[in-house]
C-alpha cells in the first residue's frame, strides 16, 4: 500500500459514478483497427473486468455504485442489422449477469444497435423492463448518421415512454471531419479535443431538430463537464434561437431542461464552477470515466471541492438517484 493510499480517507457521502465502462469480447471483435488498438485490454487494464477487481478499485476510492456502459462504438458500426442486434443483446445479457452478481455495486445502461432503430427501441424496452437497466448509452453517430435524423427517433420515443435517460457519449469524429481537422494531428481528434467537439455539435443538432418538442419528457445525459457547451451556450443560444422560431423553447432552455451533465474525465474546479453556474447543481452528476481515468484522482478532487455540502450531496448521489430512479440514501454501502 503506497503512502497516498494510507492517508486517503473515502468520502462520507454515498458516491455514484455514472459513466464507467466495460468491454464485451464479442463486440471488440467487430471493431476497426483504430478502436481495437485504442481499447485493447492490455492498453486499458480493467476495461474487460466486471467483478471483484473492479469492486476492489471502487472500494479503494470510496465509490459505492458504478453505472456500467459499453465502451464506444458498441454495436453502432456493425452494418448487418441482425448481427448488430444480436451482439447488442449479448453484451446486455453479459452486463445483466454482472449486475445480478453485485446488485448493490453495479447498475447498467444498455448497448443499442442504433443502425436498426426499431430493434434498438425494442432492446431498450427489454433491458429496462426485464433486466432492470437504468437507460441506454449511445456512442455518437452511427456510421456517419446523427440522431437528429428522424429515422432514429423510435429510440427516443421508447426512452420517453419508459422514463429513462439516454446518455450521449462521444464517438470517433465523422470521417470527413477527421480528414479535414485531425489527419495531421491524430491524437487531437480523440479525447483531448475531438470527442468534445463531436458530442457538443451532436447535442446542438438534436436541439435544433425539434426532437425535444416531439418528446417533451425525454431526458439525456452528457459527460466530460458538458462537452464544451456550458462555456459556449450563451453565444450558441443568441445566434441559433432566432433562426429556429419553430422551436417551442430557446436553445438554452432546451439544453437546461433536458440535459444532465457529468464530471466524467474532467477533474478541474474552474471547469466545474463554470458548468455549475450555467446549468445549476441539480443538473450535475459525479462520474469518473473508469478505467480511462483514475477513481482515486476523481474522488480526491471531488471530496476537496470548496462547495456547499448540500451541493456536494446532489452531485455525489442525489441527482443520480432522481434521474436513474435509484433508491435514495445518504448512507454508504456496507462493505
Task: Tell me the catalytic residues.
Answer: 289
Judged by phi (left if over 0) then psi (alpha if -120 to 50, else beta), residue 132 lies in left
H-type helices in the chain, by residue range? 3-7, 25-28, 33-39, 52-61, 81-101, 117-129, 153-162, 175-177, 194-209, 211-214, 229-240, 251-258, 269-279, 295-303, 309-313, 319-324
- The cell numbers describing 98, all together, are 454482472
* Contacts of residue 186, Cβ cutoff 8 Å, sequence gap at least 6: none
Counting every residue written for the chain, the total comes to 335
* Contacts of residue 111, Cβ cutoff 8 Å, sequence gap at least 6: 24, 27, 69, 70, 74, 75, 88, 91, 92, 95, 136, 137
Q: CA 24, CA 111: separation in Å to the nearest integer?
A: 11
- The cell numbers describing 58, all together, are 471502487
**CB neighbourhood size of 131 (10 A):** 16
DSSP 173-211: PPHHHIIIIITTSGGGGSTTTHHHHHHHHHHHHHHHHTH
DSSP state at residue 76: T
Nearest alpha-carbon partner for 128 in 105, 88, 155, 159:
159
Which residue has cell 465523422?
174
Amino acid at each position: 500500500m503506497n503512502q497516498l493510499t494510507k492517508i486517503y480517507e473515502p468520502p462520507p457521502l454515498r458516491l455514484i459514478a455514472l459513466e464507467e465502462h466495460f468491454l464485451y469480447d464479442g463486440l471488440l471483435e467487430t471493431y476497426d483497427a483504430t478502436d481495437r488498438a485504442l481499447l485493447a485490454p492490455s492498453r486499458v487494464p480493467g476495461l474487460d473486468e466486471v467483478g471483484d477487481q473492479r469492486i476492489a478499485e471502487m472500494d479503494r476510492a470510496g465509490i459505492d455504485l458504478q453505472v456500467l456502459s459499453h465502451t464506444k462504438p458498441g454495436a453502432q458500426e456493425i452494418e448487418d442489422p441482425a448481427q448488430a442486434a444480436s451482439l447488442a443483446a449479448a453484451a446486455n445479457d453479459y452486463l445483466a449477469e454482472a449486475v445480478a452478481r453485485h446488485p448493490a455495486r453495479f447498475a447498467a445502461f444498455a448497448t443499442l444497435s442504433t443502425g436498426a432503430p426499431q430493434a434498438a427501441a425494442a432492446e431498450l424496452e427489454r433491458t429496462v423492463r426485464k433486466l432492470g437497466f437504468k437507460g441506454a448509452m449511445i456512442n455518437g453517430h452511427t456510421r456517419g448518421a446523427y440522431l437528429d435524423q428522424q429515422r432514429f427517433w423510435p429510440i427516443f420515443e421508447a426512452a420517453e415512454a419508459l422514463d429513462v435517460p439516454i446518455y450521449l457519449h462521444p464517438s470517433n469524429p465523422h470521417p470527413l471531419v477527421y480528414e479535414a481537422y485531425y489527419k495531421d494531428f491524430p491524437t487531437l481528434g480523440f479525447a483531448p479535443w475531438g470527442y468534445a467537439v463531436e458530442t457538443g455539435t451532436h447535442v446542438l443538432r438534436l436541439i435544433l431538430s425539434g426532437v425535444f418538442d416531439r418528446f417533451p419528457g425525454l431526458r439525456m445525459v452528457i459527460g466530460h463537464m458538458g462537452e464544451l457547451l456550458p462555456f459556449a451556450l450563451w453565444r450558441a443560444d443568441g445566434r441559433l434561437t432566432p433562426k429556429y422560431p419553430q422551436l417551442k423553447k430557446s436553445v438554452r432552455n432546451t439544453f437546461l431542461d433536458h440535459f444532465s451533465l457529468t464530471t466524467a474525465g474532467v477533474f478541474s474546479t474552474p471547469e466545474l464552477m463554470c458548468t455549475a453556474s450555467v446549468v445549476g447543481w441539480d443538473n450535475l452528476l459525479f462520474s469518473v470515466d473508469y478505467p480511462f481515468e483514475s477513481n482515486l484522482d476523481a474522488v480526491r478532487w471531488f471530496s476537496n471541492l470548496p462547495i456547499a455540502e448540500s451541493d456536494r450531496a446532489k452531485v455525489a448521489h442525489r441527482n443520480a438517484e432522481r434521474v436513474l430512479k435509484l433508491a435514495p440514501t445518504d448512507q454508504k454501502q456496507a462493505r
